[in-house]
Structure 1
């Protein structure tokens, strides 16, 4: 099963479920159903300190390509007015469930409608697991799904923000470049504006991979490092990452690797067109997405309203893999920035739901 490994602390039966072939969505959905209660009991600040009373909804939307896309929302408890919609764009080795459940609940408890989708081929959405045939297709799917979500009655007419993490940061930026007037700002967490040199294959190997991607695009042949080891500074939290049993953890598919490289190369030449309010957050010791590239984005973006915050000593997963205190600090920084960028247009959840 490639890079998949047994999960510490769960039964042989649960591991057998987790280690099945996850190429297709029905298998991933079965695994998620088996693990959802176990995940909620994990010893992680995002689960232990999750606010009570958050209203959640899960559903599927069929996109323009006929794929079922998993969607989820987290709304404040009844009686709390919604300030804005926050639309999450997840990263490559991630999903819009698991750790993000705790992140979303904390943001929702501060008065936001939080929405998330799994990209085609990731999480609970249809598509070959971990396969990106065209990066711009994922960008278009993000736009398509969030156009529907922005029209939902509880957030219609309210400010709307993108929250992109890692590869999701690159997707969020490309969405923004296509429809800047549709968004009131974007929060980028360790954005993949450019793949770090440590994560890139050597130049000669890149050329070979590009050639092979035309012959066997779906093949899992791109060498990858242990992302959890590089991304999670706290060793105990690193172990818990395995419980996201439906995240893609195998070797990168050839076409996927080429598309990620191409997308970051394109972004590098377009960042000066970004004019929306911008919050960029990055671990100063990130070895997955280089914080120097966030500095480059901050300096080159045309926005007059932009903030860059680097967290000393932190790795890639600043919302999941750091100390409890650092995770809460980053969440508070996001919420404070959102609060400062919301208009006074409020909507009472009670009167609109």
Structure 2
């Protein structure tokens, strides 16, 4: 059953939004605090930004950081964001998604689910494959897989401290650890299984990706595998695709880097969005004019 969720939104004042951007946060994270700075930068550039917390994340109901079925999580996001897009004030606006880490996987699955609905995606260190150093050994995985039906909610997955290796800046690591809406500690057994299942599926089907995308990855990312972002760029069906690799940068490109590095990343993000939203809005205006002309002719 889909979760009930309130709008998390950031809207430009005194102007019509250039386009809509929908945020998909990472595992254990949430939108209202950890993605607030990202949203504010996008609003400053003229975009309307919407977010939501997945079930078991942030302010949403459910057991903390428990994902019983990743496909259901994607369905929840699709239902909520589609409803926002279909509001009267949003019907004739471009629709972009921005997903970070696990949120990148959510974005790719939303694109697979309804490729003609979305105008493009920004994939920030997307979870198309979990880095090998983050995974338990195959022997441990085989044992844990047998326990899923017995103890799915137990936090027994051996893993590195994701916060420690995601965010380069110590102050940002401190802020994430102190954020009561973020999950800390080991992943739950079923959650880890779902993350591994989905990342394996995405890795095998990269060539099916067809929507326009910008994929960003830090060269020193130890959480998700940059090689798979490179492979996505190489094999995806998308006619409009861009890859940006950042030397020396870690996993948390949007918030965890030095201020200078964050400026570099957002310059690329906003430039990509501006070019595509301006072109798309011209197209929408032309289509809307043609529709109105037809209606007036019939009168």
TM-score by length of 1: 0.77
Q: Secondary structure at the match of 1:222?
A: coil
Residue 66 to residue 232, structure 1, CA distance change in 2 (3 Å)? closer
Verify the 8 A CA contact 1:71 1:118 in the aligned structure 2. no
Match of 1:68 in 2: 4
69, 72, 97: which is aligned to 1:162?
A: 97
Instruction: Identify the residue that residue 166 of structure 2 maps to in structure 1.
Output: 231
Distance, in Å, in 1 between the alignment partners of 2:59 and 2:175 is: 20
- Is residue 2:281 matched to residue 1:344? yes
Structure 1 position 86 matched with structure 2 position 29:
no
Q: Which has the higher helix share?
A: 2
1:221 to 135, 148, 156: 156
Unaligned runs of 5+ in 1: 1-64, 348-353
Q: Deviations over 1:15-46 (max 9, x none)?
A: xxxxxxxxxxxxxxxxxxxxxxxxxxxxxxxx
Superposition RMSD on alpha carbons, in Å?
A: 1.4
Q: Which residue number corresponds to residue 273 of structure 1?
A: 208
Quote the Cα distance in structure 1 between the aligned partners of 2:53 and 2:210: 27
Alignment match, 1:256: 191
Shift of 1:247: 0.7
**For the residues of structure 2 that align with 1:143 and 1:81, how far apart are their CA atoms?**
24
CA shift at 1:155, angstroms?
Answer: 2.0
Aligned to 2:295: none
Residues in 1 aligned to 2:142 and 2:182: alpha-carbon distance in whole angstroms = 28
Question: Structure 1 segments of 4 or more deviating over 6 A?
Answer: none
Moved more, 327-336 or 159-168: 327-336
Distance 1:329 1:152 in 2: 34
SS of residue matched to 1:302: coil
- Native 8 Å contact 1:190 1:281 kept in 2: yes
Q: Which residue pairs with 1:188 in the alignment? A: 123
Aligned equivalent of 2:139: 204
Assess if the C-alpha contact under 8 Å between 1:82 and 1:112 holds in 2: yes
> What count of residue pairs does the alignment treat as equivalent?
282
1:315 aligned counterpart, secondary structure? coil
Q: CA deviation at 1:166?
A: 0.2
Asked if the contact 2:94–2:281 (Cα under 8 Å) also holds between the matched residues in 1, the reply is no
| TM-score calculated relative to the size of structure 2 | 0.91
Q: CA deviation at 1:151?
A: 1.6
8 Å Cα contact 2:58-2:182 kept in structure 1: yes
Aligned residue in 1 for 2:238: 303
CA contact (8 A) 2:130 2:199 kept: yes
Q: Is the partner of 2:133 in helix, strand or coil?
A: coil
Q: Is the 8 A contact 1:83 1:112 kept in 2?
A: yes
The yes-or-no answer on 1:320 pairing with 2:255 is: yes
Determine helix, strand or coil for the equivalent of 1:276: coil
| C-alpha displacement of 1:163 | 0.5
CA deviation vs aligned residue, 1:37-83 (integer Å, no higher than 9, x gap): xxxxxxxxxxxxxxxxxxxxxxxxxxxx25332430111012x2211
